[in-house]
Amino acid sequence: MAGASGVADLCSDRPPLVVLVIAPGPGIEPLRAEVAAGLAGLATVVGAADPAQAGALIAAHPDWVVPLVLLSSEGLDAVDPQVAGLDAWPVLTEARLLLLTERPVHADLAATVDRGRLAALIARPWAPGALASQARAQAVRWLRAKRPLDPRTRWLVAADGRPLAQPESVLLGRLELDTQALTVELLAGIERVLGPRPRLRLPAGTRLLHEGVDVDTVLLVLRGRVALDHATPAGELRLHHDSTGSVVGLLSLAQQRRAFFTARATTEVEVVHLAFEELDRALAADASLGAGLAALSIRALAERLRRADQLQVEKTGLNRALEEERRRLAAALHQLEQAKLELVEQARFATLGELAAGVAHELNNPVAAMMRATSYIGEDLEHLLADHPRGALALEVLARERDRAPRGTAAERATRRALEAALGDPALAQRLAVAGVEDPREARALARDPVGLALVETAAGVGAALRNLEVASRRICELVEGLRAYARPKGAPVAGVDLHQGLEDTLRLMAHRLRQVQLERHYGPVPRIRCHPGELGQLWTNLLANALDALAPGGRIALVTDAPDADHVRVRIRDDGRGIDPAILPRVFEPRFTTKQGTVRYGLGLGLAIARRIVAAHGGTIDLTSRPGETEVCVVLPVTGPPNDEEGET
């Protein structure tokens, strides 16, 4: 081959290019010779009996650059492991792999193909010279890709990157030409058959084809630019502009004769108009025109296909971005809804708070009057009875009954039974027991003294009434106090708050609901804390309400307080209810989440969400663990209370 010596010259100061030929037995020599012939002046050909020997050679010559490995499958059980073995050498991983085979079918090349390692497959016997030319073409391709700056490459490849050696087929040869040249050549050919074709000069905006109209002409664009637009429900969509190519009306050549695009000139254009039949005549007269047209068409279609693929990729990317955007919007909307619900709930509590404060205030006066009046009655009765002949007895009974500690009905009955045993008269025993007489001797004395009995009964009645009045007004007082704590506007955090006091206030307010469950208090020593007492009241209310909802009558709620360390207090509210389904456990702190018959129960559905907000505002943590029979909410609050920067917030 011409210039082979030149290459050799060039190679002298370069790392040697070595082509490995791996084949067993004596068959290797003709192979090596044929490959060497193809690569004359480009690379040295070295033979090896098997991949292991090849490896040994590579190891011995670290300066070798190997562009090509020829591997004969002869004698190999499976090709994939051998290739993998070769690829263990870094210098070989870049080499192109040529497999020589005598087998009609290969099932042992999956890994090799998958890794893109198979460059070419040559079946024995091959046409004379085929191996040599293939080996050379592979080597050149390697050089062009891996050593573009190597002088040997430059010698083999033209400046535009195309190998100097041209394809031998007409079609592939045409495809090597540029579009303009192809167009000119095709037009020249057509004009040779049809005679000179007039050039049409058309201004920008001229429509060359109309979408949806049958196409029976082909336009060769010699100058200017054409865009292809497609009508969609969303309006005119420009699919091709730079990718239009120089043949317009191409699809008409295919079966589909109706234009898919509207072709519109975007600059002044110069086109040649060819009717379908004219083109047909030209192609029939000169068969060589077909290759030019085909090459031009392929070139144009390839452009368009690439553009279409690109559009598809762009579309997918856009879709993805859109989806992301939609998700973010949904999340934002959800958050907005949560915020709104919480606001509504807060507003409700605020209204409730104002109302409670008002009621508490209004109740205070009558309750104070009641409490005072009760003690006045007591005092006045003392004066009044001082002059009564048996005033001392009456006063004694009255005081005894007024100051009596509450007792259960069982104790009352026991007293009555004892009296019955002493007196033998159930009705009288009942009267005496109601009058608070317990001493059998006193009872017997009264049984003989109807007037005294009547006096004792009356005095005991007054005493009991006074006691009940006191108890009742004290209870109203406590309720009012609880309501006030509950209703206290948020304002600044209050320091020195007794946690247990707040819990008790809440328990009192919820007494009507708590009546049917067993409540256990395990209050440990806890320091006083700084907090928003009203908010904490709401917190306890929500947590207790949730626990109550999960309990059947007779269930148990335990309240445990302690201080895990010097800076924190901990409140645990435990119930032995049915527990929370593990599937929904992660969502219980979300607003609007409620398990009550799938409907949103206003307020309670928000209960845990609000609890979490309150705890977070206090700088604390809230955790919920649940299994059937034991659900525990654990609230940990810092003794120092809410962070100071939070104060201006509300």
Partner 1 sequence: MRLAILILEDEPPVREALRRDLAVFARLVRIEAAEDAETAREVIEEIRAAGDRLALVLADHRLPGTSGVDVLIALRADEDTRAARQVLVTGQADQDDTIRAINDAGLDRYVAKPWSPDALRALVREQLTEYVLANRLDPLPHLAALDAERALALVRERGDL
The widest CA-to-CA distance across the chain, in whole angstroms, is: 154
Q: Does 431 bind partner 1 (CB under 8 A)?
A: yes
What one-letter code names the amino acid at 143? L
336 three-class SS: helix
Q: Would you count residue 403 as binding partner 1 (CB under 8 A)? A: no
Q: What is the rounded CA–CA span in Å between residue 439 and residue 420?
A: 12
User: β-strand 65-72 against 118-123: which pairing, if any?
Assistant: unpaired
Element (DSSP H or E) covering residue 67: strand 65-72
Q: How far is the CB of 518 from partner 1 (least distance, A)?
A: 6
Binder among 440, 461, 579, 638 for partner 1 (CB under 8 A): 461
- Contact between 110 and partner 1 by CB under 8 A: the answer reads no
Question: Per CB under 8 A, does 373 bind partner 1?
Answer: no
Separation CA 579–CA 427 (nearest Å): 52
Closest separation in Å from C-beta 417 to partner 1: 9
**Residue 512 in contact with partner 1, rule: CB under 8 A:** yes
Peptide bond into 125 cis (omega under 30): yes
Cβ 7 vs Cβ 42: under 8 Å = yes
Nearer to partner 1, 426 or 629 (CB): 426
- Nearest approach in angstroms of CB 406 to partner 1 is 5
**Among 214, 314, 362, 412, which residue interacts with partner 1 (rule: CB under 8 A)?**
412
**Beta carbons of 39 and 45 less than 8 angstroms apart:** yes
Angle at 65 between CA 60 and CA 66, to 5 degrees: 95
Of 359 and 634, the one with the shorter C-beta distance to partner 1 is: 359
Binding piece for partner 1, criterion CB under 8 A, among 112-120, 372-380, 513-521, 598-606: 513-521
248 with 224: CB under 8 angstroms? no
At residue 520, φ and ψ (nearest 5 deg) are: -115, 130
Radius of gyration of the chain, Cα coordinates, nearest whole angstrom: 51
Q: Interface with partner 1 by CB under 8 A: which range of 71-79, 95-103, 426-434, 490-498?
A: 426-434
For partner 1, the closer of residues 169 and 375 by Cβ is: 375
Tracing tokens 């005119």 back to the chain, one arrives at 236
β-strands 262-265, 207-209: how paired? Answer: antiparallel
Binding of residue 553 to partner 1 (CB under 8 A): yes
- The single residue among 389, 408, 525, 648 that binds partner 1, judged by CB under 8 A, is 408
- List the one residue from 219, 395, 517, 608 that touches partner 1 (CB under 8 A): 517
Residue 16 sits in the site that holds partner 1 (CB under 8 A): no
Closest contact distance (angstroms) between CB of 381 and partner 1 is 18
Nearer to partner 1, 290 or 461 (CB): 461
| 72 φ, ψ (degrees, to nearest 5) | -95, 135
| Count of residues that interact with partner 1, criterion CB under 8 A | 25
Q: Does 316 bind partner 1 (CB under 8 A)?
A: no
- 104-142 burial: b if 16+ Cβ within 10 Å, else e: eebebbeebeeeebbbbebeeeeeeeebbebbbbbbbbb
* Residue closer to partner 1 (CB basis): 327 or 413: 413
Residue 408: CB minimum distance to partner 1, A = 6
Give the shortest CB-603-to-partner 1 separation in angstroms. Answer: 17
d(CA 23, CA 451) in angstroms, rounded, equals 137
To partner 1, the closest distance from the beta carbon of 490 in angstroms equals 31
Give which of 558, 545, 525, 528 is closest to 637, Cα–Cα: 528
Cβ nearer to partner 1, comparing 91 with 604? 604
Q: Which is nearer to partner 1, 467 or 532 (CB)?
A: 467
Name the amino acid, one letter, at 488.
R
Phi then psi for 89, rounded to 5 degrees? -85, 120
Closest CB to partner 1 among 431 and 568?
431
Tokens of 375: 């003690």
- How big is the chain, counted in residues? 650
With H, G, I as helix, E, B as strand and everything else as coil, classify residue 604: helix
Q: Choose, by CB under 8 A, the member of 207, 258, 315, 413 that binds partner 1.
A: 413
Q: Which residue has tokens 């011409």? A: 2
Of 104, 233, 525, 554, the residue at the interface with partner 1 (CB under 8 A) is 554
Q: Are 333 and 325 in contact (CB under 8 A)?
A: no
Stretch that binds partner 1, among 58-66, 109-117, 165-173, 406-414 (CB under 8 A): 406-414
Least distance from partner 1 to the Cβ atom of residue 379, Å: 21
| In the complex, minimum distance from the CB of residue 520 to partner 1, in angstroms, rounded to a whole number | 12
Contact string (CB under 8 A) for partner 1, positions 472-491, x = contact: x-------------------
CA distances from 442 to 144, 258, 409, 431, 438 (A): 127, 122, 22, 13, 8
Residue 494 parent element (H or E): strand 494-497
Three-class SS state of 94: coil
Query: Measured from the CB of residue 333, what is the shortest distance to partner 1 in angstroms?
Result: 37
User: Applying CB under 8 A, does 515 fall inside the site for partner 1?
Assistant: yes
Q: Which of 267, 316, 351, 430 binds partner 1 (CB under 8 A)?
A: 430
Q: What tokens appear for 58 in the block?
A: 């590579």
User: Which region, judged by CB under 8 A, interacts with partner 1, from 211-219, 511-519, 560-568, 625-633?
Assistant: 511-519
Question: Judged by CB under 8 A, which of 2, 60, 410, 451 binds partner 1?
Answer: 410
Pairing of strands 65-72, 17-22: parallel
Least spacing, CB of residue 629 vs partner 1, in Å:
18
235 sits near partner 1 (criterion: CB under 8 A) = no
Is residue 518 a contact residue for partner 1 (CB under 8 A)?
yes
Q: Is 516 in the site for partner 1 (CB under 8 A)?
A: yes
- Rule CB under 8 A: is residue 496 a binding residue for partner 1? no
In 3-state terms, what secondary structure has residue 273?
strand
In 3D space, the residue among 44, 41, 45 whose CA is nearest the CA of residue 2 turns out to be 41
Pick between residue 16 and residue 461 the one whose CB is nearest to partner 1.
461
Q: Which of 232, 409, 597, 599 binds partner 1 (CB under 8 A)?
A: 409
Binding site for partner 1 (CB under 8 A): 406-410, 412-413, 426-427, 430-431, 434, 461, 464, 467-468, 471-472, 512, 515-518, 553-554
